[in-house]
Amino acid sequence: MFASPAFHPSQEIQAPIAPPCEADDLEFGELYEGNLSLLVAIAVRKFQVPEVDAEALAHEVFLSYLKRKNEIRQLHPWLIGAICHACRYFWRQNGRRTDQLDQELAMLRPDPDSINIFDLLPSQLAVREVLDALPPRYARILRMRYYEGYTIREIADDLGVTAKYTQKLVGKCLRMAEQMYNAAPARKKT
């Protein structure tokens, strides 16, 4: 009975209404240059997207704007909403692409640094605790290296930096993790 002919569904998809967008008067170049840094900053700082990927995402947000510009009423809320959801989608995709390290293989071919970290930290639980307390970027690097089995080269590619710098970065992350571990009052007693 409810779905009788007079029940009003929503109007059809595609909003034909196109009130003037505040960006209409701007040159496209100006629009791009004026907002790129903001979008990259949001992607990097709010979503921990690596800089190189953040720039690519921001660029795509601008391109997707071109097709929809006539239906966008307010530029900045649209750009910010779009980059946020683009980042979330990026991480969902990125997560799916992450292959889990084969446990047997890991046992056969242990990474020397992995052995060290478990020697230093009393249990896997404690490692997790420390990882959770680390800044997201540091935690991610350590997870990639010690949980997901990425090589230094692979991490470097992912971050868009050199392998040498990545090696230093991993060392720095480990030092910070160790400091945080030692700084925990409960553990100092043991």
Partner 1 sequence: MKHSDDLRHLAECASCRQRFAENVVPFDAARRRERALNFAAAAARLESERGETADIVARQLRDTPQDEWPRLAESKALRNNAALEQISEEVRRRLERNPTQALAVANLAAAIAETISASAYPPLVVAQIRSTALRDRANALRHLGRLDEAYDAIETAESRLNEFPAAVHDRATIWLVKAMILAQLDHFPEAEQMINAASVIFADVNDSTRFVQAGVVHGNLLARQQRYAEAENIFRDLLTVAASSGDGETQARLHNNLGYCYVNLDDCTRANIHFSQSIAKFTDLGSASEVARTERGAGVVLIGKGQYEAGCGHLRQARAAFTKLQMPEEAGLCALRIIEALVERGETGEARDVADTIIDEFTAAMLDKRAIDAVVRLRKSLDADGATAEAVRTVHAFVESLALDETPAS
Q: Spell out a b/e string for 92-106, using b for 16 or more CB atoms within 10 Å of the CB, else e.
A: eeeeeeeeeeeeeee
Number of CB atoms found within 10 A of residue 47's CB? 18
Task: Pick between residue 51 and residue 102 the one whose CB is nearest to partner 1.
Answer: 51
Task: Pick between residue 36 and residue 120 the one whose CB is nearest to partner 1.
Answer: 36
| Radius of gyration in angstroms for the set of CA atoms belonging to the chain, rounded to a whole number | 23
* Distance (Å, whole) CA 189 – CA 146: 27
Coil, strand or helix at 161: coil
Identify whether the C-beta of residue 177 lies closer than 8 Å to the C-beta of residue 185: no
Question: Does position 186 bind partner 1 by CB under 8 A?
Answer: no
> Looking at 2-10, 103-111, 146-154, 170-178, which segment touches partner 1 (CB under 8 A)?
2-10
Identify residues 13-42 at the interface with partner 1 (CB under 8 A): 13-17, 28-29, 32-33, 36-38, 40-42
Task: Pick between residue 20 and residue 29 the one whose CB is nearest to partner 1.
Answer: 29
Identify residues 86-105 at the interface with partner 1 (CB under 8 A): 86-87, 89-90, 93
Write down the least CB distance from residue 134 to partner 1, Å.
Answer: 21
* Distance (Å, whole) CA 124 – CA 131: 10
Coil, strand or helix at 150: coil
Which residues contact partner 1 by CB under 8 A?
Answer: 1-17, 28-29, 32-33, 36-38, 40-42, 44-46, 51-52, 55, 57, 59-64, 66-68, 71-74, 76-78, 80-87, 89-90, 93, 160
